[in-house]
A and B are shown apart, each in its own frame.
Chain A
Amino acid sequence: MLQNALFFVLGGVVVISALCVIYFRNPIYSALALVTALFAVAGLFIILEAYFVAAVQVIVYAGAIMVLFLFVIMLLNLGDEESLEDRLSWAKRVAVVIASLFFAEVFYITIKLVGSVNAPKVTSGQPVGDPKTIGELLFTKFLLPFEVASLILLAALIGVITLVHRRSDERSHTSSDT
């Protein structure tokens, strides 16, 4: 009963925040709306008894990735984007129509099919979302993806350092602009 009410409240918060992300002109408002959406999704994870994933979502997604977004937005010091009615408004209407068709189609398919997937919740006594179970699986069955993920992060680190590295004897690009 409480889970039902919580699901609808959090689901409403997620949908409204997501609509705010794509609606606001100022990118800082969009970033803050996305943080709200991420927190609400973490709440949904908690309702689904995935406690570890909810904590990781708050720490990594809302705590690191969104902070990175906000840093870059404030570094670039952008103003507001121009209003939707300006350039290419016909393309935007077409995009919304196509996305709505896609949504209606996928929604219909999932409602039809997912209902038949409703296997009864397997209660084997083992909790599904706690760190112990995740840790056991992560280091036995999913060991290779785990190591590959660390390589991906290493590649990202090297890539970012290469991209923003500036040699001290090199003239910066901005001084040669008119």
Chain B
Amino acid sequence: MHPSLTHYIGLSVILFCIGIVGVLVRRNAIVIFMSIELMLNAANLAFVAFSTHLGDTSGQIFVFFVMAVAAAEVAIGLAILVNVFNIRRSIHVDEIDSMKG
């Protein structure tokens, strides 16, 4: 018996909410990025589940684009983070609280 669409979407919701908790609770900027990746994966899972259950390939093509955008975002975000670290010597999000420099 194939697990139904409800199971997959429920799992996607669980993953998304774990990602939300990670973004809100963690103070390390890199772990916040990783929680954002978790949320993007939850969305990808929902896309692919709907694509399979409705027989439409467009969902999987959108997953393609989500991955491309996620890769671009991670690259630029980590480059910014490395620059912030060079100046502030810390990536604790609470300590990066001034726009100067």
Residues of A at the B interface (CB closer than 8 Å) are 1, 3-4, 7-8, 11, 14-15, 18-19, 21-22, 27, 30-31, 34, 37-38, 41, 44-45, 47-50, 52-53, 56-57, 60-61, 64-65, 68-69, 72-73, 75-76, 78, 81-82, 84, 87-88, 92, 95-96, 98-100, 102-103, 106-107, 110-111, 114-115, 117-119, 121-124, 128-129, 133-134, 137-138, 141-142, 145, 149, 152-153, 155-157, 159-160, 163-164, 173-174, 177
Please name all residues of chain B whose beta carbon is closer than 8 Å to the beta carbon of A50 when the two chains form the complex.
48, 51-52, 60, 63
Interface of B: prevailing SS: helix
Output the least CB separation between A21 and chain B (Å): 6
Q: How large is the interface on B (under 10, 10 to 19, 20 to 34, 35 or more residues)?
A: 35 or more
Does B70 touch A at the CB level, under 8 Å?
Answer: yes
Q: Is B96 an interface residue (CB 8 A)?
A: no
Within 1-47 of B, Cβ neighbours of A (below 8 Å) are at 1-11, 13-22, 24-28, 30-31, 33-35, 37-38, 41, 44-45
Nearest B residue to A98 via CB reads B24
